[in-house]
């Protein structure tokens, strides 16, 4: 039997809305007791001083990208698992735009078997791919099934066959532009009762833009992407959802006008949830003056008013959750000019500490508000049970030290990729342990 006691740790539980200091006893992957002080525990218990540490439910990532299969030089499933656990994530949902795409039951089965191999579950993994158990507990993997073949937005997949597998829901991760296809997809998905996530972006309005249109794009001499590149297709999508009635998760909301449209739609009772990404909360278009290719993301960083609107919307629950959208690239792919760099940045290991320092330490958000947006709300968007911190519940937990400083570099990162604007910078706050509720 394994037994751990965290003494006087700050416990954040969004389910009960509690933020308190307590002792927490964990035995064999289960929370056994929580009290102001605990003195009755097994003699072999490992006791840890939790003063100054934060204990919350495991974080949940709505959508991120894997390099494997097809682009293992960017990220493998093993390195993705390690990066997620190192960042405090106990559940991670992978978008289907791998090579080949996760667009049929066979590819879903391959992803699951490969993940079992990474986790060291030899009862499920193929004997042909023996893999030692990693130093971090492996998060639970969830795959999004592709809406279209190859996630290319042209031809619908066999949605019914995919729905019968263990996919978490349906998404391409890219914008769909064929509105007849979108209508049919929503109609076919309605009885399947699986989450569906859609990204609103009009490539015709995006043009050759690489950052949000506004004063900063003029100042920096970079072609801008107007806000209507997001809001025009978003308006059309909301009209479809309201008419057809299929619940939809809106990915990557990035503009103040997009927030206003989501707010109005929710007020009308349209069945939607929405997310923005962690970098859109942290930064705005002014940061691009450094011309760092790692700040080239999709959708682009918003103008200051967009950032302010997104922060307020997450606090109010208009934007339900924060997604990481971890997008790995190789050094060679990103070491080009800003406009030529492929859009995307890594974030699984950085999101919690940077958001904590920027929003919680400054007093803009409460600790519970941030944790809720990274844990319980994403789980609800995925139609999953939330992790609660209570006696008898599985220990699906993240232990975070908000004062621990570390340098973001090759030795400290678990991800293979290094495409982050914080590379070689010192960051304050780091996850020191995760429990996954089973092997912890």
- The predicted pLDDT at position 121 comes to 47
Cα-based distances in Å from 292 to 297, 351, 378:
11, 18, 30
Three-class secondary structure of residue 433 per DSSP: strand
Could you give the CA distance from residue 95 to residue 97 in angstroms, rounded to a whole number?
6
Instruction: Please name every residue paired with 171 in a beta bridge, in sequence order, or none if there are none.
Output: 197
Q: What is the DSSP letter of 156?
A: B
Cα–Cα–Cα angle for 363, 273, 153, rounded to 5 degrees: 125
Q: Which two tokens stand for residue 120?
A: 């060291």
Q: How far apart are CA 337 and CA 23, in angstroms?
A: 51
Within 13 A of 303's CA, how many CA atoms are on the CB side? Answer: 16
Helix or strand holding residue 59 (H, E): strand 59-64
Complete DSSP assignment for 266-300: HHTT--EEEEEEHHHHH--GGGGGG--GGG--SSP
pLDDT of residue 438: 65
- By the 8 A CB rule, do 293 and 418 touch? no
- Alpha-carbon distance of 420 to 402, in angstroms, equals 20
Q: Is 325 a catalytic residue?
A: yes
Question: How many other CB atoms are found less than 10 A from the CB of residue 380?
Answer: 16
Q: Tokens standing for 29?
A: 């992957």
Q: Where are the beta strands (DSSP E) in 200-288?
A: 211-212, 224-225, 248-251, 272-277
Written as one string, the DSSP assignment of 110-156 is HHHHHHHHHHT-TTTS-TTS--PPPSSPPPEEEEEEPSBGGGSSSSB
Task: Check residue 134 and give its pLDDT.
Answer: 42
∠ at Cα 276 (270, 281), nearest 5°?
135
Determine contact, residues 261/199, Cβ cutoff 8 Å: no
pLDDT at 108: 96
pLDDT, position 118: 79
Which pLDDT does position 136 carry in this prediction?
67
- At residue 135, the pLDDT reads 53
The residue from 17, 325, 401, 438 that is catalytic is 325
Q: Which residues contact 158 (CB under 8 A, 6 or more apart)?
A: 104
Beta strand 426-436 with 140-145: parallel, antiparallel or unpaired? unpaired
End-to-end CA distance of the chain, in Å? 12
What distance in Å separates the CA atoms of residue 324 and residue 326, rounded to the nearest whole number?
5
Both structure tokens of 129:
């791919």
Domain boundaries, the chain: 58-383+405-422
**Mean pLDDT (10-residue bins), the chain, 440 residues:** 93 96 96 95 94 98 98 96 96 97 97 84 40 63 97 96 97 96 97 97 96 98 98 98 98 98 98 98 98 98 98 98 98 97 98 98 98 98 96 97 97 96 98 80
pLDDT for position 131: 37
CATH topology of domain 58-383+405-422: TIM Barrel (3.20.20)
Question: What pLDDT is recorded for position 128?
Answer: 38
Q: Are 197 and 63 in contact (CB under 8 A)?
A: yes
Write the CB contacts of 61 (distance below 8 Å, at least 6 apart in sequence): 84, 89, 91, 92, 93, 323, 324, 326, 348, 378
In this predicted structure, what is the pLDDT of residue 11? 98
Q: Is the dihedral of CA 82, 87, 89, 92 positive or negative?
A: negative
SS3 category, 401: strand
């Amino acid at each position: 039997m394994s037994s751990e006691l965290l003494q006087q740790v700050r416990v954040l539980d969004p389910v009960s809305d509690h933020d308190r200091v307590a002792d927490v006893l964990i035995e064999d992957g289960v929370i056994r007791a929580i009290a102001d002080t605990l003195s009755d525990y097994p003699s072999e218990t490992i006791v840890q001083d939790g003063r100054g540490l934060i204990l919350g439910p495991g974080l949940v990532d709505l959508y991120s990208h894997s390099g494997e299969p097809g682009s293992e030089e960017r990220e493998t499933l093993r390195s993705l698992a390690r990066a997620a656990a190192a960042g405090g994530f106990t559940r991670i949902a992978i978008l289907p735009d791998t090579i080949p795409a996760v667009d049929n039951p066979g590819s879903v089965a391959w992803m699951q078997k490969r993940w079992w191999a990474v986790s060291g579950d030899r009862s499920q993994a193929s004997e042909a791919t023996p893999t030692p158990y990693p130093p971090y507990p492996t998060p639970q993997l969830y795959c999004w099934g592709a809406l279209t073949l190859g996630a290319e937005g042209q031809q619908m997949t066999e949605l019914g066959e995919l729905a019968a597998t263990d996919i978490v829901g349906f998404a391409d991760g890219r914008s769909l532009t064929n509105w007849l296809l979108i209508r049919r997809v929503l109609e076919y998905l309605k009885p399947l009762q699986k989450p569906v996530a859609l990204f609103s972006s009009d490539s015709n309005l995006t043009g050759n833009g690489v950052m949000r249109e506004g004063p900063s794009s003029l100042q920096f001499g970079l072609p801008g992407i107007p806000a209507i590149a997001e809001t025009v297709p978003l308006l059309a999508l909301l009209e479809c959802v309201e008419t057809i009635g299929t619940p939809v998760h809106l990915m990557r909301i990035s503009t103040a006008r997009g927030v206003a449209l989501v707010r109005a739609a929710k007020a009308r009772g349209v069945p939607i949830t929405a997310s923005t990404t962690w970098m859109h909360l942290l930064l705005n278009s002014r940061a691009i003056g450094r011309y760092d290719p790692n700040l080239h993301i999709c959708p682009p960083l918003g103008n200051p008013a967009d950032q302010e609107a997104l922060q307020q919307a997450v606090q109010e629950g208009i934007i339900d959750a924060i997604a990481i959208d971890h997008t790995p690239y190789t050094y060679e792919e990103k070491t080009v000019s800003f406009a030529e760099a492929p859009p995307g940045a890594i974030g699984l290991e950085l999101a919690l500490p940077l958001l904590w320092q920027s929003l919680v330490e400054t007093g803009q958000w409460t600790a519970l508000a941030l944790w809720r947006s990274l844990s319980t709300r994403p789980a609800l968007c995925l139609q999953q049970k939330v992790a609660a911190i209570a006696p008898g519940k599985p220990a699906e937990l993240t232990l975070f030290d908000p004062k621990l400083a570390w340098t973001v570099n090759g030795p400290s990162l678990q991800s293979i990729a290094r495409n982050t604007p914080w590379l070689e910078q010192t960051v304050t706050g780091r996850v020191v342990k995760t429990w996954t509720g089973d092997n912890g």
